[in-house]
Structure 1
Amino acid sequence: MTAPARAFLIGAACLVGCAGPTYDFGDLPASPVAIVHRTMSESDKAYDQVLENEKFLRVRRTGRRERRTRWDQNRLDGDRVMALFEGPGERALAALGRMALVDPRTGAIEPAEWAKRGSRPLGWSQDRTRLLYLSVRRGEPHIFERNLVSGENTKLTHDRRRYLDAAYCGPEGLVTAGVDTAGRIQLHYREAQSGAPAAVTGNYMAYAPACSPDGKTIFFESVDTKGRAQIRSLELADPEGSLRTLARGRHPTATPDGAWIIFSAKTRDAWKLWRMRPDGTGRHPFGRGADWEHAPAVSPDGRYVVFIATDDERQVRQKLWVRPLDGEDDRPLRVDGDALHPAW
């Protein structure tokens, strides 16, 4: 899309949804949004890295010889994070950013100094006192938990799987996504921190999990036979017998009342936010944004959704926006720099 066309669409969207704000930032829940934050300088470095990667891909297609940069090492797609932990250089580390907590009302940023650069938030406990995050220990990605009351960090995974994602399931359950030594990407569930994890998915790819508020249902991302992203679900009481495909899309997340699943789906022009019922019915897009929309996270009160907006599929310049669940009146949160991987 050309710059004038994009400007026209943004202007048209503002005529509809921005002319009379239906809420103020002070109306948003005070609970912080966990993100990966990049300063403007770090964002510029990330953009330079993408341009270098694209140049490398063009060189590969033409067969010309030139110094090669590892494309997979520096990918910014949060659901393919394994390669981010294979010793990236200084510029790649800048591209990864640092985990931080954002006040949604003011945009104030509190860096998570207790987490390594490149760590990524995954989700909050229901009482908002604990935060799951992905980080590295001895060169391997693992799942950690930060207790914001005690200030303690706890490593929750201890096996040889290379972990990609995790989510709380109900008050005490935990579901993780990881790659085992055979290369299978599966989900494992355990009832509490001390419980033994058990596989709940079979011989198919499963990652990016999210759970229903009661902890009985897992929603997750997979791929169909053509390699297209799709959202599936299963019931923990009968994982194999309850498996169903709900929709094409990515990044599923449930509202606190369990009534809706918010996700990102590809349209003819871009990836947009959609919502559907937990059984896959009632699918429809909501909102009038002009950009690409990714990684939705629902507010604790269930009234708002934060998400990442980018101006193209490169997903380099990533801005944090908020949208009411009724789909009206998008507003950018006042975060200086880029915001990635929100968890609210």
Structure 2
Amino acid sequence: MKSILAAIDIETGAETVLFETDLHLEAPNWTRDGAALIVNGGGRLYRVPIDEPRLHVIDTGFANDLNNDHGLSPDGTQLAISDSTEQDASCIYVLESAGGVPRQVTAEIPSYWHGWSPDGKELAYVGKRPETGGTFQVFTIDVDGGAERQLTCGFDHCDGPDYTPDGGWIWFNGERAGSVQLWRMRTDGSVLEQMTDETSVNWFPHPSPDGHHVAYLAYEPGTTGHPPNRNVELRLMPAGGGPSRGLRAVFGGQGTLNVPSWAPDSRRFAYMRYEP
């Protein structure tokens, strides 16, 4: 299976292929200077410069069992990662973006990172705890650690929490009664609002840096979870709510758009697609 790292222009829908490899790569993040992307594969993280695309390993110290939930701090100096090397399940750590020794943030597992608050002080993630009844819900925690805060309840499953650039909202996908739609809430969990009502199975909403759009991944109706190797669609909707529009159909799913991947100028975002 070939992995294709690409970017899409949100106005024209035109795709630019940035890098191709026979290795399985997932979940691109765009660096704050727009010069490179960060991807994961085989439990490691890689930097891919746009002007000379190839895989540069990022030193993550002891952490060599990373999943695809990773991302840069607002100032680009730190990386949040989700890793299982020293735990029985995914745990969130933070390290310098150039590489280094990870510092543990979450005491509870499993925890999967998805968003960094615009002021750099808080992380949003999903976790499954005994008190959540075996379901994944949205949590936040100070980047320095401490007590986590559960924001959602009553969902069968939640994933993909990501902050708006003004810090006012957290978007996420939530499942109720078999329907997976996009939701947003205030950062304290209040003012919960359903933002889509579509037949598709909607995952991983990502607000654009300019605050105008939300990109997300849509599976075909009836899809369970967020599996790989499916026909999916990259979609875009207004950040304030309203009708969405399709940008491009791709072969992918898991690994395609799991984490924030907008370019700094908000004119395009990166994703992974795959070719058998």
Q: Partner of 1:81 in structure 2? A: none
- Give the alignment of 1:148-167 within 5 angstroms: 148-149=50-51, 151=53, 153-156=55-58, 157-164=60-67, 165-167=69-71
Q: Partner of 2:15 in structure 1? A: 109
Unaligned runs of 5+ residues in structure 2 are 263-276
Moved over 4 A (4+): 114-117, 149-152
Q: Distance in 1 between matches of 2:125 and 2:27?
A: 17
Alignment of 1:337 with 2:243, yes or no, is no
- Give the alignment of 1:258-337 within 5 angstroms: 258-310=167-219, 311-314=221-224, 316-333=230-247, 335-337=248-250
8 Å contact kept, 1:275–1:286: yes
Q: Distance in 1 between matches of 2:86 and 2:233?
A: 36
Q: More helix by proportion, 1 or 2?
A: 1
Letter in 2 for 1:163: L
Q: Partner of 2:82 in structure 1? A: 177
Q: Distance in 2 between matches of 1:229 and 1:305?
A: 22
8 Å contact kept, 1:184–1:203: no
Alignment of 1:245 with 2:154, yes or no, is no
| Structure 2 SS opposite 1:162 | coil
Count of aligned pairs between the two proteins: 243
Q: Distance in 1 between matches of 2:36 and 2:6?
A: 14
1:265-314 superposed Cα distances (whole Å, 9 cap, x missing partner):
01224110000111211111113322211111222211111111121224
8 Å contact kept, 1:233–1:244: yes
Please point out which of 120, 124, 131 is paired with 2:26: 120
Higher relative contact order (CA 8 A, sep 6+): 2
Alpha-carbon distance change, 201 to 103 in structure 1, aligned in 2, over 3 angstroms: same
Q: Distance in 1 between matches of 2:180 and 2:188?
A: 22
Q: Distance in 2 between matches of 1:326 and 1:283?
A: 14
Q: CA deviation at 1:212?
A: 0.9
1:75-107 superposed Cα distances (whole Å, 9 cap, x missing partner):
xxxxxxxxxxxxxxxxxx36xx53322222222
Q: Partner of 2:103 in structure 1? A: 198
Letter in 1 for 2:245: R
1:228-255 superposed Cα distances (whole Å, 9 cap, x missing partner):
1111111124x113x1011142111111
Alpha-carbon distance change, 126 to 213 in structure 1, aligned in 2, over 3 angstroms: farther
Q: Partner of 2:48 in structure 1? A: 146
Q: Distance in 2 between matches of 1:286 and 1:304?
A: 12
The TM-score normalised by the length of structure 1 is: 0.65
Letter in 2 for 1:222: G
Q: More strand by proportion, 1 or 2?
A: 2
Letter in 2 for 1:142: R
The TM-score normalised by the length of structure 2 is: 0.79
8 Å contact kept, 2:61–2:101: no
